[in-house]
């Protein structure tokens, strides 16, 4: 799957959270999610989810949507309706 290959290549050189690839899979398959939603889905603390998101941001894989703070793929439409 293209999203998984992207995660592997972009996160390989970083000191990425071990949960970053799992968080990426969620975002790539489900769309925008909040840190709380990622934490619940992965069964981790909100802090651990935030560390995973930080690794994904450092790899330029995700952005934060301003309206609600949701995390979405960097190439996705940032508007809630799109």
**CA pair distance 4, 78, nearest whole angstrom:** 21
pTM beyond 0.75: yes
Angle, helix 46-58 to helix 35-42, in steps of 10 degrees: 110
| Spatial distance between the Cα atoms of 32 and 36, rounded to a whole number of angstroms | 12
Encode pLDDT of 8-39 as tens digits.
777 776 665 788 989 999 999 999 999 999 99
User: Which region holds residue 31: left if phi is over 0, alpha if psi is between -120 and 50, else beta?
Assistant: left
Is residue 36 within 8 Å of 45, Cβ to Cβ? no
């Amino acid at each position: 799957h293209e999203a998984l290959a992207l995660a592997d290549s972009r996160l390989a050189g970083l000191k990425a959270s071990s949960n970053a690839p799992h968080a990426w899979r969620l975002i790539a398959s489900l769309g925008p999610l909040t840190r709380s939603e990622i934490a619940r889905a992965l069964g981790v603390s909100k802090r651990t989810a935030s560390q995973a998101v930080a690794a994904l941001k450092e790899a330029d894989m995700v952005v934060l949507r301003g309206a609600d703070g949701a995390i979405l793929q960097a190439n996705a439409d940032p508007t809630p309706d799109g």
